[in-house]
Amino acid sequence: MRIALAGAGAFGVKHLDGLARIDGVEVVSIVSRRIEQAEEVAAKYGVAHATTELSDVLARDDVDAVILCTPTQMHAAQAVASMRSGKHVQVEIPLADRLPDALEVARVAQETGRTCMVGHTRRFNPSHQWVHRRVVAGELRLLQMDVQTYFFRRTNTNALGQPRSWTDHLLWHHAAHTVDLFAYQAGEPVVVAHAIEGPRHPELGIAMDMSVQLATASGQICTLSLSFNNDGPLGTFFRYICDNGTYVARYDDLTTGRDEVVDVSGVDVSMDGIELQDREFTSAIREGRAPNSSVADVLDCYRVLDALERQLGERS
């Protein structure tokens, strides 16, 4: 399977590392805003072609699929263009930062019959997979999920501390992980959603602190705290409070509520959630099936984010 990667930043490189461990997959092109970056990353990973234009890739007949790790504001339009060019596409989270754009991607996926997957990585992390399998098996029932998503990002930088050409967003990007994961683990859609936000950054124009509350029809609840102001451990911590135990997940690691390590090394073929996500994408294409976290799977998440944004707009 021949794949082009668009977006050679911090997350694009994670995909390249994951793809390198998947048999039968070849990355044939790197797309980046700066040709110097595209060529540097292409040389490092042994990729023959580098360009600044996604259209160059979409015109090629030796590209089967595209992975988009580009700025959020470009995701929907690029996903649509990729599918209309006959390519399968994986869009990094978030799918879009407006519900109408997300709905259009879903419509085009159905229209073209192309595989369209969204990078909701938490579904694939071994830690969260371990919990999900026990929920599905009836061994656990989620009562409450408490989540902290914390960064120290008072300037416009990426995960490597490098300047960004676009602005990140607590709601449409970081909350998307938890909104989707909560419904996925609960096995029910979110029916109640509330949000409040702190002051907006004077230059970036985004909320730097936010609180979100969610509930399902049967009363499973989620409390999410997000901040770009946290001067401390960075990342996201998930506490699952269940009827039969408490578990704390951080990326691919899992402990009990008493800090006892849970061995998740046998959950899947890798401990790398991004690699597992890419394995699902390529397998779904080969098998002609919808992938876990297909655009249709995750649309409810974006409906909730849209409702939360409208709430916040009414209060501002």
Q: Which amino acid is at 280?
A: E
Please tell me the distance from the alpha carbon of residue 232 to that of residue 213, in angstroms, as a whole number: 23
Contact 148, 237 (CB under 8 A): yes
Residue 157: predicted pLDDT: 62
Residue 169: predicted pLDDT: 83
* All residues at 6 or more sequence positions from 15 whose CB lies less than 8 Å from its CB, including other chains: 5, 67, 69, 274, 278
Please tell me the distance from the alpha carbon of residue 195 to that of residue 198, in angstroms, as a whole number: 10
Nearest to 13 by CA among 35, 48, 45, 39: 45
For residue 129, the SS3 value is: helix
Per the rule left: phi > 0, alpha: psi between -120 and 50, beta: everything else, 258 is: alpha
Domain 2-121+274-292: state its class: alpha beta
Q: How many CB atoms lie within 10 A of CB 315?
A: 9
For residue 140, the SS3 value is: coil
Q: Where are the domains of the chain?
A: 2-121+274-292, 122-269+301-315
Please tell me the distance from the alpha carbon of residue 278 to that of residue 16, in angstroms, as a whole number: 10
Residue 155: predicted pLDDT: 64
Please tell me the distance from the alpha carbon of residue 164 to that of residue 33, in angstroms, as a whole number: 11
> Which residues are registered as beta bridge partners of 248?
239, 255
* CA angle, residues 141, 268, 67, in degrees to nearest 5: 105
Single pTM value for the model: 0.94
Instruction: Give the helix/strand (H/E) hosting 49.
Output: strand 49-51
Please tell me the distance from the alpha carbon of residue 58 to that of residue 282, in angstroms, as a whole number: 18
For residue 254, the SS3 value is: strand
CA-CA-CA-CA dihedral for 308, 236, 65, 302, to nearest 10:
-10
Q: And the tokens for 44?
A: 């490092």
Please tell me the distance from the alpha carbon of residue 47 to that of residue 43, in angstroms, as a whole number: 6
Which residue positions in the chain have pLDDT lower than 50?
Answer: none
Residue 164: predicted pLDDT: 57
Q: What is the CATH number of domain 122-269+301-315?
A: 3.30.360.10
